[in-house]
Amino acid sequence: MKDKHLIALDLDGTLLKDDKSISKKTKDVLNKVQEEGHVVMISTGRPYRASEMYYKELNLQSPIVNFNGAFVHHPLDHNWGVYHQPLPLNTVSDIIDISNKYSIQNIIAEVMDHIYLHYHDAKLIDIFKLGNPNITSGDLRKFLKHDPTSLLIHSDEQNVKQINDYLSETRAEVIEHRSWGAPFPVIEIVKHGINKAVGVKKVADYYGIPKSRVIAFGDEDNDLEMLDYAGYGVAMGNGIDLAKNVAKDVTLTNEEDGVAVYLEDLLLKKS
């Protein structure tokens, strides 16, 4: 094949429909582009345990980006390497002290497949139990002994904005932080300099694919760097305005098979 492309897919709100399924049309198109020699990969904020089922469903053969770039590995090739960039443990205590100034509901630390909740919360445990991680509840300053892959602050919408603003003003050189929307307001924190684009570039370099032939799909603010990096940075029709502004193109929504329609037009009709 003359021009191999790397196709990087965000999961929630992008590849996945609102019911967290992959449509038959999208699956068929992704199978076809793989048959034609293009590389399809997942690039998500989720941990691997919560994205493995989609990796297998699509029969992917590529590395995967998890935790927004803080963890990159190849599930089928242990010789490929594991790239793990956790937060320094002392940053966690710092973040807890900051959070105590606001009305936080919880702080969640993830060390790969071990989850630590600052406060016990059955509802949160139910949300995070996908993939059967080990879950510990209690003061993070006491129970957390290893550098976490990511840190989540769960608060109400008003305080999320205040905390985000404070972190931007005081911790910009130490951490990266992004907000989640539904089903609950969350700030996700990873090590400074880490984002999805870092992980996708690592995979693109491995395959020798220039960024001009990287096609990335996303919908939220944790996709911005990836959309900006890719030669074809494509925002979903249901994406936030900021993602659409950064992207080079906009496709249909996740409910309208936006990923499949775009790839069909760009890669399959040409072939």
Residuewise pLDDT in 10s, the chain (271 residues): 568 999 999 999 999 999 999 999 999 999 999 999 999 999 999 999 999 999 999 999 999 999 999 999 999 999 999 999 999 888 888 888 877 778 788 999 999 889 999 988 888 888 777 778 889 999 998 999 999 999 998 888 778 878 888 888 888 888 888 877 656 678 889 999 999 999 999 999 999 999 999 999 999 989 999 999 999 999 999 999 999 999 999 999 999 999 999 999 999 986 5
Question: Which residue, 191, 220, 239, sits at the end of a domain?
Answer: 191
One domain for residues 176 and 218 = no
CA dist., res. 197 & res. 186, Å (int)? 21
**What ranges in the chain are assigned the alpha helix state H?**
24-35, 52-57, 89-99, 122-128, 140-143, 157-170, 196-207, 224-229, 241-246, 258-263
Judged on CB neighbours under 10 Å (0-12, 13-18, 19+), 80 is middle
Torsion on CA atoms 222, 228, 231, 234, rounded to nearest 10: 50
Q: Are residues 108 and 31 in the same domain?
A: no
Residue at a domain's end among 152, 168, 191:
191
Among 161, 191, 221, identify where a domain stops.
Answer: 191
Domain membership of residue 66 as a residue range: 6-84+194-268
Q: Strand 249-250 relative to strand 64-66: parallel, antiparallel, unpaired? A: unpaired
In what helix (H) or strand (E) does residue 7 lie, and over which residues does it extend?
Answer: strand 6-9
10 flagged as catalytic = yes
CATH code: domain of residue 212 = 3.40.50.1000
The number of domains in the chain is 2
- How many Å is the Cα radius of gyration of the chain? 18
Co-location of 160 and 239 in the same domain: no
> Does 185 map to a domain?
yes
Distance of CA 52 to the CA centre of its chain: 13
Rounded to an integer, what distance in angstroms lies between the CA atom of residue 254 and that of residue 270? 23
In-domain check, residue 1: no
Nearest one of 44, 85, 61, 1 to 267, comparing CA atoms: 1
- CA angle, residues 228, 158, 137, in degrees to nearest 5: 90
Catalytic residue (choose from 3, 10, 19, 126) = 10
